[in-house]
Amino acid sequence: MIKNKPEVLAPAGTMEKLKVAIDYGADAVYIGGDAYGLRSRAGNFSFAEMAEGAAYAHAHQAKVYVAANIVAHEGDIQGAGDYFRQVRDHHIDAVIVSDPSLIEIAITQAPGLAVHLSTQASATNWETLKFWQDLGLERIVLAREVGLDEIKEIRKHTDIEIEAFIHGAMCIGYSGRCVLSNHMGLRDANRGGCAQNCRWKYDLYEMPVLGDKTELLGENADGKVEDFSMSAVDMAMIEHIPELIEAGVNSLKIEGRMKTVHYVSTVSNVYHKAVSDYCADPVNYQLDEALVDELWKVAQREMSTGFYFNTPTADDELFGKRRKRPQFKFIGQVLAYDAQAQVVTVQQRNNFGIGDQIEFYGPNFTHYHQTVTELFDEDDLAIERAPHAMQVVHFNCPYPVQTGDFIRAQAIEKPARVQR
């Protein structure tokens, strides 16, 4: 049994996502406040909401961290001391900061508040980690560009806590230092306004010589122009949990504060089970392929191992024609279950109806499959489909589902994984 079990750290863009992440196995969540964060469009938390989220987390033996990781410009640090004191006094477990001025303010003006170094600070070597540790930081979130062998070397020389991203979107820029959003949309990515220009579709043109015609590149054999993209595939380290733990990573971080409860619940569930299984019996541990399949149910793009084992190649970018990805739909949440009548009451999140193949899933990796054969609205009237957002419906269900369980549509197809 592994004594130093790492935490699974999940994103929480809203209060609902915070509670869902914890219910589905996350040991900690990270959120944004009303200031100093890099997700201006996420459902950022007020101080009262921070207190509510912290109370829920602590009641479930989990922690809450607040991201305050902007690159500060002139005027951005005004009021930071009061902000960090409020965060501390509302029982948040730590703040995640990148700017040295904000780090100093948090340490000196909000004593007792733990400070973690954000990945935005691009820490990539053990000397840097010791520097920040000597200044009073408790944890370093490594840059995404750090490989597994480098993590092992860092651990040999330091005892500070290490946090590393192990799942989610990869940035085309060096640890979030892309300036495309500033250049093309006048939206400052490092102050919370990233337009995600790398996810846009682009046409690639050959640079013309004087007098020559500009030609559009990327035509396939049929004469059709393929989209050219700077979009990176996503990271997924589910197949390498033992290596991460043995390398000394203390916190396994999942990206995605702006993603759905479907994503947050599924990914938290998967990594919680993988970590628990390995730590319970590392000698006999084998990855359950069902965990890999589960991640494909919420995948937006192909998946790779990022920088952990090698420098990414063209295979880790979505150049040209978009490759296949899974087609799953999050359709509802269980509100109640009548075991005697075998009837489930559901709050709809996406259109579904009679004939659909559905899957119930819940914490601790419970799954049930069935076909919807009948459907009734709140007035007990038979209906063919539930097309209205948040509509409450009920139908027969022979499985012992639980309040809070989620429902998704059955897979249409499953893509091939990017092999490493």
**Cβ pair 361, 367 in contact under 8 A:** yes
| CA 62 to each of CA 23, 24, 25, 82, 231: distance values in angstroms, whole numbers, following the listed order | 10, 12, 9, 25, 34
CATH number of the domain at 345, please. 2.40.30.10
Look at residue 81 and tell me whether its pLDDT is greater than 70.
yes
Q: Is 215 exposed, middle or buried (0-12, 13-18, 19+ CB in 10 A)?
A: exposed
pLDDT value at residue 212 = 65
Q: What pLDDT, in 10s, does the model give residues 34-74?
A: 877 765 555 689 999 999 999 999 999 999 999 998 888 89
Work out the mean pLDDT of the chain and round it to a whole number: 88
Same domain assignment for residues 110 and 168: yes
Identify the domain boundary among 310, 341, 365. 310
Q: Which two tokens stand for residue 308?
A: 């952990």
* Structure letter (DSSP) for residue 270: H
Distance of alpha carbon 365 from the chain centroid: 18
Q: What pLDDT, in 10s, does the model give residues 123-163?
A: 999 999 999 999 999 999 999 999 999 999 999 999 999 99
The domain of 96 spans 7-174+233-310
Percentage of the chain exceeding pLDDT 90: 68
pLDDT value at residue 228 = 56
pLDDT value at residue 210 = 62
Same domain assignment for residues 41 and 113: yes
Distance of alpha carbon 255 from the chain centroid: 3
Same domain assignment for residues 306 and 334: no
First to last CA, the chain: 29
Q: What pLDDT, in 10s, does the model give residues 301-357?
A: 888 999 999 888 777 777 655 555 656 889 999 999 999 999 999 999 999 999 999
**Cβ pair 254, 9 in contact under 8 A:** yes
Does 211 map to a domain?
no
Same domain assignment for residues 298 and 357: no
Q: What pLDDT, in 10s, does the model give residues 222-279?
A: 555 555 567 888 999 999 999 999 999 999 999 998 899 999 999 999 999 999 999 9
CATH number of the domain at 28, please. 3.20.20.380
Identify the domain boundary among 255, 275, 310. 310
Does 206 map to a domain?
no
pLDDT value at residue 412 = 53
Same domain assignment for residues 258 and 350: no
Q: Which two tokens stand for residue 278?
A: 């390995």
Q: Is 200 helix (H, G, I), strand (E, B) or coil?
A: coil
Look at residue 299 and tell me whether its pLDDT is greater than 50.
yes
User: Nearest CA to 372 among 349, 400, 397?
Assistant: 397
Q: Which two tokens stand for residue 177?
A: 């230092």
Does 227 map to a domain?
no
Same domain assignment for residues 169 and 106: yes
Does 339 map to a domain?
yes
pLDDT bucket at 76, cuts 50 / 70 / 90: confident
pLDDT bucket at 415, cuts 50 / 70 / 90: very low
Q: Is 274 exposed, middle or buried (0-12, 13-18, 19+ CB in 10 A)?
A: buried
Same domain assignment for residues 59 and 138: yes
pLDDT bucket at 418, cuts 50 / 70 / 90: very low
CA distance 335 to 332: 9
Look at residue 295 and tell me whether its pLDDT is greater than 60.
yes
Does 298 map to a domain?
yes
Same domain assignment for residues 55 and 131: yes
Give the distance between the most distant pair of CA atoms in the chain.
80
Same domain assignment for residues 161 and 22: yes
Q: How many domains does the chain have?
A: 2
pLDDT value at residue 195 = 72
Identify the domain boundary among 310, 342, 377. 310
pTM for the model stands at 0.89
**Cβ pair 244, 164 in contact under 8 A:** yes
pLDDT value at residue 56 = 98
pLDDT bucket at 414, cuts 50 / 70 / 90: very low
Does 194 map to a domain?
no
